[in-house]
Amino acid sequence: MTWFTLLHGLALFTIGIVCRFVVHLQQWQALIPIVMGLGYITFAEGMRSKPTSRRLFLFLAIIWSVVIVVVTLPFARGVIQAWQNQPIQMDGVAASSDLVIEHSIVLILTVIYVLVAVWTLFRKVKPTPASA
């Protein structure tokens, strides 16, 4: 799960960097995936460096994922309008379709991560027989 957390963090970080500096999204919301990706990278490093606290860092990563879902959901709701080339309004303010698609991709990746992480956190670990 450590490597999956690290890869997920790197994916979000990369999405944020590409959208900010390649697609040139100027809204501050384009920086959200960069910050969220750095958070996952931090949790993955915690899992790697402190094996005794691996489950704690996994739990913290799940909480971080819930924060990401809450933050990206308002933008992701406009994905249908973005695909239909309609103007997107967020609380009366026009939003970029690229920003909506960016947050929708982040939301999909995070939901997949949450499902795998929760399954990993709550699965029963079978004790191995002691070999003498």
- Higher-confidence residue of 75 and 108: namely 108
Maximum C-alpha span of the chain: 70
pLDDT at residue number 126 = 67
pLDDT band at 9 (very low <50, low <70, confident <90, very high): very high
pLDDT at residue number 57 = 93
Domain ranges within the chain, ordered by starting residue: 2-121
Residue with token string 């993955």 = 44
Q: Contact, 90 vs 84, CB < 8 A? A: no
Mean pLDDT, to the nearest integer, of 75-79?
Answer: 82
Give yes or no for residue 88 having a pLDDT over 70.
yes
CA dihedral (64, 57, 38, 11) positive or negative = negative
Give yes or no for residue 128 having a pLDDT over 70.
no
From CA 45, how far away is CA 7, in angstroms rounded?
12
Q: Distance between terminal CA atoms of the chain? A: 30
